[in-house]
Amino acid sequence: MTDEYWVEALKVIAVVNRYFRALDEKQFDESHFRQIFTSEARVLRPDDTATVGPVAIAESHIRNFSRFEASQHLVAGHDVAIDGESASLRANLVAIHIWKDRHDVTSMSDRSFTAGGVVSADLRRTPAGWLIDEIANRVIWRTGFFGDMPPAS
C-alpha cells in the first residue's frame, strides 16, 4: 500500500473517531456534526432505526444520550478500504453507558451497560474532506442493566 493510501486511511479513521468522541463529550451541536456527516448521512442504530442528516442525527443523540451520566466508546481495529472518492471502514466497538438516574445502586453493573459490536461506515471525499455517508453499529453482546433498551440483535 502506498503512502497516499495511508494518509487517506488515517483521515477516514479520524472522522469516525471524531464522531465517537462527540458522543462521549456530548458535543451534539449541528455545526460540529456538519464537519462529520454529509448532508444526507444516515446513522443506522442497533434497533434497526435510521436517522438522516446532521441536524436530525444531532437532535436524536441529544435525546438518547440525555439518559446517561457518561459514556465511553472504544473503537479499535479500523480496517479501511478506499476506492476513489469513496471509502468504507469496519472497526470493533465496546461502548460503556452509565445511567444518569441509578445513583441508588452500588454495583457498577447495575448502574451501567456495556455493549460490544462492529461498526461499519461508508464515507465520501468532499471539498471539506472525508465525511460519513452512513454508519451502522451491529451489537454482538451486552452486559449490565439495560433499562428500556431493546435486546441485542
Question: Hey, what domains does the chain have and what are their CATH numbers?
Answer: 3-144 (3.10.450.50)
Q: Can you give the pTM of this predicted structure?
A: 0.90
DSSP-assigned states of every residue in the chain = --HHHHHHHHHHHHHHHHHHHHHHHT---HHHHTTTEEEEEEEE-TTS-EEESHHHHHHHHHHHHTTEEEEEEEEEEEEEEEETTEEEEEEEEEEEEEETT-TT---HHHHEEEEEEEEEEEEEEETTEEEEEEEEEEEEEEEE--TTPPPP-
Residues of the chain with pLDDT under 70: 102-105, 107-109, 148-153
pLDDT value of position 9: 96
pLDDT at residue 150, as a whole number: 52
Amino acid at 56: A
**Cα 95 to Cα 93: distance, rounded to the nearest angstrom:** 6
Predicted confidence at residue 105, as pLDDT, reads 66
Edge-first strand listing for the sheet containing 86-99: 50-52, 37-44, 129-144, 112-126, 86-99, 68-83
Distance CA 95, CA 126 (A): 29
pLDDT recorded at residue 146: 73
